[in-house]
Structure 1
Amino acid sequence: MKLEKINYISYKDAAAMLNLSIITIKKWAQKGIIKRYAVTARSVFVDRDEILELIKSKGA
């Protein structure tokens, strides 16, 4: 079984990339709009490639 490599970024970095607040990114993750990944016991990250896709769709 082949596992995909995921480029994790923090909510803060994702918010900066999309020019949104961190709260918005957290709400999107809670609603399932973007996937969140629990990397460590206290850290939750999002997929960088998924954020880049949101940026592309936002610009179109």
Structure 2
Amino acid sequence: MHPKERLEQEFKREEDVNIFLSAKFASYKNTAIDILSLTERELNTIKILLKLPTIRGWLK
């Protein structure tokens, strides 16, 4: 492969990786915003659910 073609291919690969990472970061950012926007009532419900015994505990 010609050095110029190899360089262009490498730049394209880096661009693809950057696009992927940007999308991944946006996804994580949106998840964090969703968590932060939960209401106090929803947060209390989650706390209660976390305190419930697991099914494994019920089977003992």
TM-score by length of 1: 0.28
**Which has more helix, going by share of residues?**
2
TM-score by length of 2: 0.28
Larger radius of gyration: 2
Higher relative contact order (CA 8 A, sep 6+): 1
**Which has more strand, going by share of residues?**
1
